[in-house]
Amino acid sequence: MRGPHNILRLIRTGATLERTGAMGLIMDAFEAPPLVRGTMRFLAWPFQWLGYKGDPASPPAPRALTALGPAYIKFGQILSTRPDLVGEDLATHLRVLQDKLPPFPVEVAKTSVAHELGHTVDELFENFSEPVAAASIAQVHKATVRGTGEEVAVKVLRPKIEKAFRRDIDAFYFAARMIELLSPASRRLRPTDVIAHFEGVVMGELDLRLEASSASEFLANTAEDEGFELPTVKWELSGRRVMTMGWADGVPLGDNAALDAAGHDRVALGERVLQLFLSHALRDGYFHADMHQGNLKVAAGGNIIAYDFGIMGHIDEYTRRVYAEILYGFIKRDYRRVAEVHFEAGYVPADRDVDEFARALRAVGEPIFGMDANRISMGSLLSYLFEVTERFGMETRTELILLQRTMVVVEGVARSLSPQINIWQVARPVVESYIKDSIGPRAAVRDLGKTLAVLARYGPRLPAMVEKALIRQSEMPEPPRTTHWLFYLISVIAGCAIGVAGMLLAGFWP
């Protein structure tokens, strides 16, 4: 499926952008150099007839991306959160891709619900509305549960969505391999691995049972977070292609006029969105990885409501600490420490010069911190950092792709609410708190306790392990029996000591 036939798909992508008029808008938004602009137009123009026409009633950019398919729509959703990169007009046009795409018929949705849950819609619900929101993968209906009267949101996958995504991903794989073949320098960026990561994320989003599980875990992690709430999953009304959750009432986070009319403080909301994301990523290592305006509302009381948990990010504790130290180093403008963290984590080859890398990082950070508050951007930092790491041979870290992408999206959401927001100033207390709790002396003691607690499980097995080790040495002269029993006694004492110390430090001892 990933052979040369995908060339036609990629040509059709450029042809569709040209035919719908989106090519010029996108080139203008990114301020593409004349050479790039001319080359793209030259390659796409002769093949316009191959491009999809799309919906003439839609603006050019969403018209093109919607016609091309769900994977391209995802790309447009990301751009819709970055008016600082693509301009306010294009970002506004692309925002319809978040939850205002053309829906599929309600009867098709009802058939899917009946097939998935084993009962007709009329048996399960007192009423079942027309689609209230339609995105790239699924659409949502408002319903009332029969018997309880509870209002719920019923999410139903689009028909044949799996096949549509597979087609796009196959083309992306082909493009990635062609890039690696034609540009050896690009291999350090591991474009094929990046597409594989994207594929894993998307395939998980196509099983709503996994999304329901993600929502449940996320709710448990964030139950105590002030100013944040999540709808609850209705497991008995959920399956692979259908998911039911409590109905979330609120003002869309992307509607600034409605937020102002409702009396909400947009500056506070922008700060809270950013701090919540960083708290979830650093504290829990589990975060909502699709936090654009279409997946966020503001309740009447001011709480931010998140929904649509198809894309969740996970990073292990070690990576969290590395990420926090890098952020904190930039916040403190300690570029030497940022460089050391990159080397300690193995992100930069050990044969490179750490001092030279630190100087390069200073060249990245200082211009950013010299900007006005409303121009300080983590997105810009990531862009500049990309250029520096290329010089020092740093490979793409696929485990950080989703985190970095979400950081860019969340920053865009925060800026859409409060254009003057100082991203670093807002992030600082969250990062400092995590550093204090996870990297200081108290954290070292806690880590030691966890390590000893794990070792304690092996305490009862240490004598047998020592016995086996001694037997393996049978080809060597037999040690005196007093030595044999001495080893045995030491292993027993060590096992007991490790077990007690582990339980004490881990807080398991009464």
- More reliable by pLDDT, 417 or 432: 417
Phi, psi (5° rounding) for residue 244? -120, 130
3-class state of residue 210 by DSSP: helix
In this predicted structure, the answer to whether residue 171 has a pLDDT above a threshold of 90 is: no
**Would you state the structure tokens that stand for residue 189, as one six-digit string?**
């960026």
Confidence of residue 118 (pLDDT cuts 50, 70, 90): very high
Adjacent-strand bridge partners of 142: 153
3-class state of residue 415 by DSSP: helix
In this predicted structure, the answer to whether residue 235 has a pLDDT above a threshold of 70 is: yes
Q: Which residues contact 464 (CB under 8 A, 6 or more apart)?
A: none
> Rounded to the nearest 10 degrees, how much is the dihedral formed by the CA atoms of 48, 53, 58, 62?
-60
Q: Which residues contact 113 (CB under 8 A, 6 or more apart)?
A: 121, 124, 154, 156, 242
In angstroms, the CA 164 to CA 83 distance is 29
- Residue 508 has a pLDDT of 40
Q: Which of 290, 334, 372, 447 is catalytic?
A: 290
Adjacent-strand bridge partners of 249: none
Mean pLDDT of 129-157: 93
Secondary structure letter of residue 461 according to DSSP: G
Helix, strand, coil percent values for the chain (each to nearest 5): 65, 10, 25
- Residue 376 has a pLDDT of 57
> Rounded to the nearest 10 degrees, how much is the dihedral formed by the CA atoms of 354, 360, 365, 367?
160
- Residue 11 has a pLDDT of 80
Placement of tokens 């949101």 in the chain: 153
CA 238 to chain centre: 24
In angstroms, the CA 53 to CA 60 distance is 10
Confidence of residue 373 (pLDDT cuts 50, 70, 90): low
Placement of tokens 């709790």 in the chain: 437
In this predicted structure, the answer to whether residue 142 has a pLDDT above a threshold of 50 is: yes
Greatest mean pLDDT among 53-57, 379-383, 437-441: 53-57
In this predicted structure, the answer to whether residue 441 has a pLDDT above a threshold of 60 is: yes
Pairing of strands 151-157, 138-145: antiparallel
271-285, 345-359, 421-435, 451-465: least confidently modelled range:
451-465
Confidence of residue 346 (pLDDT cuts 50, 70, 90): confident
In this predicted structure, the answer to whether residue 261 has a pLDDT above a threshold of 90 is: yes
Contact of 281 with 313, CB cutoff 8 Å: yes
Per-residue model confidence as pLDDT tens digits over 397-411:
655 666 777 887 888
Mean pLDDT of 241-262: 93
Q: How many other CB atoms are found less than 10 A from the CB of residue 376?
A: 18
In angstroms, the CA 408 to CA 402 distance is 10
In angstroms, the CA 197 to CA 180 distance is 17
Mean pLDDT of 367-376: 60
Alpha helices in 183-279 (DSSP H): 191-205, 208-222, 256-261, 266-279
In this predicted structure, the answer to whether residue 145 has a pLDDT above a threshold of 50 is: yes
Task: Decide: pTM greater than 0.95.
Answer: no
Contact of 138 with 164, CB cutoff 8 Å: no
Q: How many other CB atoms are found less than 10 A from the CB of residue 197?
A: 16
- HEC string for 359-383: HHHHHHHHHHHCCCHHHCCHHHHHH
**Would you state the structure tokens that stand for residue 128, as one six-digit string?**
């079942």
Confidence of residue 85 (pLDDT cuts 50, 70, 90): low
Mean pLDDT of 65-88: 73
Task: Determine the residue type at 268.
Answer: A
Annotated active-site residue 290? The verdict is yes
How far lies 475's CA from each of 214, 465, 472, 483, 484, in Å?
55, 18, 8, 17, 15
In angstroms, the CA 380 to CA 365 distance is 10
In this predicted structure, the answer to whether residue 236 has a pLDDT above a threshold of 90 is: yes
26-40, 57-71, 129-143, 495-509: least confidently modelled range:
495-509
Phi, psi (5° rounding) for residue 509? -85, 135
In this predicted structure, the answer to whether residue 125 has a pLDDT above a threshold of 80 is: yes
Taking Cα atoms as reference points, which of 329, 308, 302 lies closest to residue 409?
Answer: 308
Adjacent-strand bridge partners of 67: none
